[in-house]
Amino acid sequence: MTEQKQTFADQKRKTVETAEFTEDGRYKRKVRSFVLRTGRLSEYQRNMMNENWSEYGLEHQAEFFDFEKIYGNSNPVVLEIGFGMGKSLVEMAEQNPDKNYLGIEVHTPGVGACLAYALEKNIKNLRVICHDATEILRDCIADESLGGLQLFFPDPWHKAKHHKRRIVQPHFVETVAKKLTVGGFIHFATDWENYAEHMLEVLQSVQRAVGIHNISKTNDYIPRPDFRPLTKFEARGNKLGHGVWDLYFIKD
């Protein structure tokens, strides 16, 4: 294979920044870069990133995003962290033209696939970021600027000694709640029961302090909502006989 010039997509793949956390889940200022070794970035996905980033991509910056300028309207902005290959995110953007969607994903094959699907569907109300979500929330998202936060099937870190690596921690929920407008939502979904219990415990532990409430009639999980597209992870879980747990909280 002949040596190729490093493109924008290749550089993103090599040095995506990720945050580090203390044992109680709080963000540490130290940031490390790592090489993403999993998932092959195809030539097609690489081209999608290189050719369409100016239209769909946003970069980490030291000031808050001006969403009205970015999207050209004042519709609510829904942030999804870890959109995978982006199929369900694009479908939600297509089904809800009255909302703007912002997706964060550090794995470039997923970013490239998401852009390709967005182009196929001619989606205009979607932007994507290839950067650590914690830094984006901290530096780029103003308080009371989001209409909702989606986190679907995140890495469960199922071993007990790795639970501290789970993104859903009290500090994370506290940060997200500050970014939501009144009436904004937090929607988590997982196919790991232990992680679902952890998520519920975390949300309940801070709900009074941050002013959110559970819409579940049983004060735990909600039935799978029709507005959440079936993801490949959920389909895989269904085949394996896994359950799926959805949590939905609203900011007061």
Binding site, annotated residues: 80, 105, 132, 155, 159, 191, 231-234
Question: Three-class SS string for the chain?
Answer: CCCCCCCHHHHHHHCEEEEEECCCCCEEEEEEEECCCCCCCCHHHHHHHHHHHHHHEECCCCCCCCHHHHHCCCCCEEEEECCCCCHHHHHHHHHCCCCEEEEECCCHHHHHHHHHHHHHCCCCCEEEECCCHHHHHHHCCCCCCEEEEEEECCCCCCCHHHHHHCCCCHHHHHHHHHHEEEEEEEEEEECCHHHHHHHHHHHHHHHHHHCEEECCCCCCCECCCCCCCCCHHHHHHHHCCCCCEEEEEEEC
Of 190, 116, 180, which Cα lies nearest the Cα of 147?
A: 180
Report the binding-site residues for substrate.
159, 191, 231-234
Which of 66, 143, 155, 252 is catalytic? The answer is 155
CA 84/CA 86 separation, integer angstroms: 5
**155: annotated active-site residue:** yes
Give the catalytic positions in this structure.
Answer: 155
